[in-house]
Amino acid sequence: MARRQLVIGSSLLLGLTPFPGFAADERFSIPPTSVTASTDDGNVPANTVDGDLTTRWSAEGDGQWLQLDLGSPKKVAFVKIAFLNGASRTSTFDIQTSPDGTTFSTVRSKATSSLTSGLQTFDFPDVGSARYVRLVGYGNSANAWNSYLEVEVHGSAAEAPSGNIVNVSTAAQLTTALASATAGTTIVLADGTYTNSGAFVLKGKNATSSSPITLKAANRGKAIISGGASLQVTSSSHVVISGLKFTNTGNSALVLDGSNNIRVTRNTFALIEDGTQIKWLLIKGAGSHHNRIDHNDFGGKSNIDPVIALDGNYSSQMTQYDVIEYNYFHDVGPRLANGLETIRLGLSALSLLDAHATVQYNLFENCDGDPEFISIKSGHNTIRYNTIITSQGQLTARHGNNNSIYGNFILGDGSKSGVGGIRLYGTDHKVYNNYLAKLTDDALLIDGGDFDGGPTSSTYTASDLSKHWRVYRAEVVNNTVVDSTAGLLIGKKYTYAPVDSKVANNLIRNTTGTLYNELKTSNTLFQGNIGYGSALSNKSRTSSEIRNVNPSLTAVNGLQKLSSTSQAINAATGAYTYVAEDMDGQLRAANDVGADEYSTDPIDHAPLSSADVGPNAP
């Protein structure tokens, strides 16, 4: 286990460390004597905090409860529970909290477990001050027993006392509360509709990580920003926006302008569009950095301009170190020739600047608006662990350099047209551990360019920034393409062939098209690749470059993975030290060809569903 933690610490740093500017939630230490229950059958309550998944608390019947005493008031963020026979039956229960052990509030009603044997996370809006957490059981899908193996409570120090809470129920009250907010203020929006002739503005408000300004719905999704209203955060820091629903018309729902450490979490963006060209969420301005967009729902955009745009100040600065994660993007379209990206990271004019953005653990479904459903127009960004389903277009490094694209699942249905994979322009990109299946457009494209900026991207004029820059030193390594119309292509369009690129240890199994299709002659290095099922290559390549062998794949949870007899096992060549894990998050030893490493280790990454992302996900 120690070796696994070491590798994850280097390769998944942004995903596992606390987000800058936000206090980390931790697991509370709860002694066995602090756990009580309504009753038990001899499997006592203390068993749920002993760290042993072979012991349990059990009690039969609706309303039986297990209670954990945290010792003092704490901010409670979520609980984790492991269930007896959790892989074969589901359990239903309420989660309640109390400040005094007498008066309890239900923070999650009739929660239902998933079919898994380990700890499961159950999230709810943070409770600012609670000493007791109670689980009230309603049996399981097989019988009336409530049986919990382990229970963890996570959170941090209690929030500021209620004197900093401002309750609002009208647009006028909201305007006043925003103008008066200071560090530690929590503005709670009652259920209802908040309209305005322009933006609700929070300006020049600088809070702290331990005492942020919070704007949240009293009940998630029931405080609605509507009509001509919107929300704008300008020249501010350490602000949390949570649980709102945006159905406004004619302008961006949310603009973060010159602000940093803003968290936008568990909101719903469902704007009523009237033909106006708008970005739904825009991050811009000088001094913008370290903003986090997580657990939101974005769906139903049809008008031109991106759903989310990360811009700079339009001249000399990019917003930097922003994170977009655990969001559900869906139903974007119809298909336009240009301008309806789901996410756009940068602008052509600023594309040689570094954004250092991270886009991870998002689900994209039917995002058909632009040929680039994710359009990268800046440098040093990371796009990883996302799931893209039946979305027309490609994940495209359109401008900028040094971008990393790995661990993504890009899935088609084999019939919807225009569903593609990954396309590259620019220098020093790394594309690895991606799984691409049933695509009807190009799966992996190292394209040609209509402009050559040189190997260091230093030879250009301002008018060249919007062109398709020649590819230098791309590394496309350890990807898997199956059951798709096309495989890997080099130099499909434009004039300039890629230079000094590497195509290594990829696995392509299709029944149509040319698997490794070099449409332009280049000096690309090929090594250790496998192709099977169709024409291998249109060039003369040796077996050390591309082998024509059956990879012996087998279906596992809907994915085509290596079987124990696969000739891809231990067959990877070359030194690509950054490929330390596979698409599942399993460690690579003697590396296998393709995105999957044959392994019996636990799986950390898998295709996401709508239950894993969005406002109500754990």
Tokens 């300008």 belong to residue: 234
Q: Residues 68-86: what's their mean pLDDT?
A: 94
Pairing of strands 444-446, 546-548: unpaired
**Percentage helix, strand, coil for the chain under 3-state DSSP, each rounded to 5:** 5, 40, 50
Q: Is the same domain home to 203 and 64?
A: no
Q: Residues 595-613: what's their mean pLDDT?
A: 94
Q: Is the same domain home to 353 and 287?
A: yes
CA pair distance 601, 585, nearest whole angstrom: 9
Q: How many residues does the chain have?
A: 618
CA pair distance 325, 15, nearest whole angstrom: 9
pLDDT band at 487 (very low <50, low <70, confident <90, very high): very high
Q: Residues 459-465: what's their mean pLDDT?
A: 93
Which letter does DSSP use for residue 598 in this model? P
pLDDT exceeds cutoff 70 at 362: yes
Q: pTM above 0.85?
A: no
- Whether residue 388 contacts residue 413, with contact meaning beta carbons closer than 8 Å, is answered with no
Residues with Cβ within 8 Å of residue 245, at least 6 apart in sequence: 217, 221, 222, 223, 224, 225, 267, 268, 270
More confident residue, 509 or 15: 509
* Domain final residue pick, 157, 185, 206: 157
Q: Which residues of 277-309 are buried (b: 16+ CB within 10 A; e: fewer)?
A: ebbbbbbbbeebbbbbbbbbbbbbbebbbbbbb
Question: What per-residue confidence (pLDDT) applies to 561?
Answer: 97
Structural domain that includes position 33: 26-157
Question: What per-residue confidence (pLDDT) applies to 337?
Answer: 83
* Of 329, 328, 323, 266, the residue nearest 616 (C-alpha): 266
Question: What per-residue confidence (pLDDT) applies to 330?
Answer: 98
Residues with Cβ within 8 Å of residue 29, at least 6 apart in sequence: none
CA 102 to centroid of chain Cα atoms: 39
Q: Is the same domain home to 123 and 235?
A: no
pLDDT exceeds cutoff 60 at 161: no
**Domain annotation covers residue 557:** yes
CA pair distance 409, 91, nearest whole angstrom: 30
Residues 245-254 have pLDDT tens digits of 999 999 999 9
pLDDT exceeds cutoff 50 at 410: yes
**Domain annotation covers residue 295:** yes
Tokens 């609980």 belong to residue: 79
Q: Is the same domain home to 261 and 388?
A: yes
DSSP string, 372-396: EEEEEESBS-EEES-EEES-SEEEE
**Domain annotation covers residue 189:** no
pLDDT band at 117 (very low <50, low <70, confident <90, very high): confident
Least reliable range by pLDDT among 4-13, 260-269, 430-439: 4-13
- Whether residue 65 contacts residue 136, with contact meaning beta carbons closer than 8 Å, is answered with yes
**Domain annotation covers residue 127:** yes
Hey, what long-range contacts does 579-586 have (CB within 8 A, 24 or more apart)? 579/432, 579/433, 579/477, 579/478, 579/505, 580/7, 580/10, 580/11, 581/7, 581/8, 581/11, 581/433, 582/433, 582/478, 583/407, 583/409, 583/433, 583/434, 583/435, 583/480, 585/8, 585/407
Question: What per-residue confidence (pLDDT) applies to 125?
Answer: 86
Question: What per-residue confidence (pLDDT) applies to 431?
Answer: 98
pLDDT exceeds cutoff 50 at 19: no
pLDDT exceeds cutoff 90 at 15: no
CA pair distance 594, 526, nearest whole angstrom: 14
Q: Is the same domain home to 133 and 258?
A: no
Residues 281-339 have pLDDT tens digits of 999 999 999 999 999 999 999 999 999 999 989 989 999 999 999 999 999 998 888 88
Phi-psi region of 178 (alpha: psi -120 to 50; beta: other; left: phi over 0): alpha
Which letter does DSSP use for residue 408 in this model? -
Percent of the chain at pLDDT above 90? Answer: 88
Question: What per-residue confidence (pLDDT) applies to 129?
Answer: 87
CATH at 63: 2.60.120.260
Q: Is the same domain home to 274 and 352?
A: yes
Q: Is the same domain home to 114 and 206?
A: no
More confident residue, 589 or 538: 538
Q: Is the same domain home to 345 and 493?
A: yes
Token pair in block for residue 494: 């434009």
Q: Is the same domain home to 265 and 386?
A: yes
Q: Is the same domain home to 142 and 231?
A: no
Residues with Cβ within 8 Å of residue 417, at least 6 apart in sequence: 392, 440, 441
Q: Is the same domain home to 207 and 146?
A: no
CA pair distance 448, 443, nearest whole angstrom: 15
Average pLDDT, the chain: 93
Which amino acid is residue 372, in one-letter code? E
Question: What per-residue confidence (pLDDT) applies to 618?
Answer: 80
* Domain final residue pick, 512, 547, 562: 562
Question: What per-residue confidence (pLDDT) applies to 116?
Answer: 85
**Domain annotation covers residue 569:** no
Tokens 């309806």 belong to residue: 340
| Angle, CA 324 vertex, CA 12 and CA 607 arms, to 5° | 65
**Domain annotation covers residue 593:** no
Question: What per-residue confidence (pLDDT) applies to 160?
Answer: 53
Q: How many domains does the chain have?
A: 2
CATH at 274: 2.160.20.10
pLDDT exceeds cutoff 80 at 436: yes
- Whether residue 467 contacts residue 496, with contact meaning beta carbons closer than 8 Å, is answered with no
* Domain final residue pick, 517, 540, 562: 562
Phi-psi region of 617 (alpha: psi -120 to 50; beta: other; left: phi over 0): beta
Question: What per-residue confidence (pLDDT) applies to 237?
Answer: 97
| Distances from the Cα of 320 to the Cα of 292, 345, 356, 401, angstroms | 11, 10, 6, 15
Question: What per-residue confidence (pLDDT) applies to 355?
Answer: 96
pLDDT exceeds cutoff 80 at 2: no
| Angle, CA 234 vertex, CA 161 and CA 188 arms, to 5° | 30
**Domain annotation covers residue 21:** no
Q: Residues 366-387: what's their mean pLDDT?
A: 96
More confident residue, 104 or 175: 175
Q: Which residues of 462-484 are buried (b: 16+ CB within 10 A; e: fewer)?
A: eeebebbbbbbbbbbbbbbbbbb
pLDDT exceeds cutoff 80 at 368: yes
Q: Is the same domain home to 237 and 385?
A: yes
DSSP string, 208-273: -SSS-EEEEESSTT-EEEETT-EEEEES-EEEEEESEEE---SS-SEEEES-EEEEEES-EE----
**Domain annotation covers residue 218:** yes
